Amino acid sequence: MQKIVIFASGSGSNAEKIILHFNKISRVNVVGIFTNNSNAKVIEKAKKYNVPVVVFSKEELNEGKVTVLINQIAPDLIVLAGFLLKFPNEIIHAYPNKIINIHPALLPKYGGKGMYGMKVHQTILDNHEKETGITIHYVNEHYDEGRIIFQKSVNIEKCTTAEEIAEKVHQLEHQQFPKVIERLLDDSIIG
């Protein structure tokens, strides 16, 4: 049984799509949702599917308490799905090429510290881009600089608000993120 742990800070729409995708695949199990936000909607979604939830503080993340819990689980893949804190180097080094993140733009454009959520979409709108998309990448010590695994673009020429762009990007995320995770897990069995 392959184990996935998801880190999320917000609504959990991607986490829910991942849980639903792997509920149909018996060899993979989402074994936990970790969140730094005790009010995050991802908690309700996790409970709905009987996925255990761990709520932690930034201090607990940085002091290694979360690392201890992760090591007890020994996940095959750690998925950041709307997780807003910088991921600790301690976990990154312990799980090389086993931590992935999704970013709501075509990296290397519109990435880095402070570029998340609606800030990304508004900046893309302000810069009159004709397309945007998603990037799924490995996590390293720097925001949004890990090796790119997958990108997909979408035309946004007719979008007039950041919310319209966000909707198109969310559709891409929901369609593609679970499939890319499944492919990565398949490759880890073979490789």
Q: What is the pLDDT of residue 187?
A: 86
Element (H, E) at 51: none
pLDDT digits (tens, 9 = 90+) for 57-69: 999 999 999 999 9
Active site residues: 103
pLDDT digits (tens, 9 = 90+) for 33-62: 999 999 999 999 999 999 999 999 999 999
Asked if pLDDT for residue 184 goes beyond 60, the answer is yes
**pTM metric for this prediction:** 0.95
**Mean predicted lDDT score pLDDT of the chain:** 95
Quote the CA–CA distance of 94 and 74 in Å, as a whole number: 10
| Rg of the chain, C-alpha, whole Å | 16
Distance of CA 184 to the CA centre of its chain: 14
Give 147's DSSP letter.
P
Q: In what order do the strands lie in the sheet with 99-103?
A: 53-55, 28-35, 2-7, 77-80, 99-103, 131-138, 148-155
> What integer is the mean pLDDT of 2-24?
97
Quote the CA–CA distance of 135 and 177 in Å, as a whole number: 9
Burial string for 91-111 (b: 16+ CB within 10 Å, else e) reads bbeebeebbbbbbbbbbebbb
Label residue 191 by pLDDT band (50, 70, 90).
very low
pLDDT digits (tens, 9 = 90+) for 114-162: 899 999 999 999 999 999 999 999 999 998 999 999 999 999 999 999 9
Burial status of residue 63 (CB atoms within 10 A of its CB: 0-12, 13-18, 19 or more): middle
Label residue 189 by pLDDT band (50, 70, 90).
low
Quote the CA–CA distance of 169 and 176 in Å, as a whole number: 11
Q: Assign 3-state DSSP to the chain and report helix, strand, coil percentages, each to 5.
A: 40, 20, 40
Specify which residues 54 forms β-bridges with. 34
